Amino acid sequence: MIPTSFPPRDEIARLSAGMLLEIGAVHFNAREPFTLASGLPSPTYIDCRKLISYPRIRSTLMDFLTVTVMRDAGFEAFDNVAGGETAGIPFAALVAERMALPMSYVRKKPKGYGRNARIEGVMTEGQRVLLVEDLTTDGGSKLSFVDAIRDTGATCAHTAVIFSYGIFPETEKTLGDHGVALHSLCTWWDVLAAARARGSFDDETLQGVETFLRDPRAWQAARG
């Protein structure tokens, strides 16, 4: 079923943040920061992959993501939904099902044997492709997926994620300069507000997280 009517954007953000907290996808630790894939420290970490194990929350968030994309980009804006390897694949499949569209996925690098493909599934020249991922930090990792899609002769002007960090000002510029619009359900600010409302973490932890969110680059620089 294609969803067409859902809460306004701010309510979707509040509910989405609450669901991520409910399943334990959100981790805050200002005293012993996490190390991100970039090698930089962070007092925050989110694991959207856990969502696939919670069918009620998974279904609701995929409805939210589908209607957000259709509201922002149009109800007939796409011909194909592509997931980025690996975290984006299940979410792309679920969104494609809701939008009644073909689904494909994009490898991080060529397969290395056989057809040496980066695109799995059927993607054809001229198709308008929506790239679906679990999250985005500064937007940079999306560009390789977008380029692989465009190499087929298809177009890719939109990417949809469940979670956007929302603290790096270059994110939308990086994507926008590449001709890609970002659609997301919630950010760290929404999660912080939900965590405070729920009492999910102690005040010291939440204050430490807020300090990071207000100037993440300075926070990271101060910690090497």
142 marked as binding residue: no
CB 65 within 8 A of CB 115: no
Alpha helices in the chain (DSSP H): 9-22, 55-73, 88-99, 142-150, 170-177, 188-198, 203-214, 216-221
Q: Find out whether 74 is annotated in a ligand binding site.
A: no
| 133 annotated to bind ligand | yes
Q: Is 85 annotated as a binding residue?
A: no
164 is in an annotated binding site: no
**Residue 18, annotated ligand binder?**
no
What would you report as the CA-atom Rg of the chain, rounded to the nearest whole angstrom?
Answer: 18
Say whether 109 counts as a known binding-site residue.
Answer: no
134 is in an annotated binding site: yes
Is 88 flagged in the annotation as binding?
no
Q: What's the CA dihedral at 173, 177, 183, 189 to 10 degrees?
A: -10
Say whether 86 counts as a known binding-site residue: no
Q: Please report, in range form, the residues annotated as the binding site.
A: 107-108, 111, 133-141
Q: Please report, in range form, the residues annotated as the binding site for orotate.
A: 137
Q: Please report, in range form, the residues annotated as the binding site for 5-phospho-alpha-D-ribose 1-diphosphate.
A: 107-108, 111, 133-141
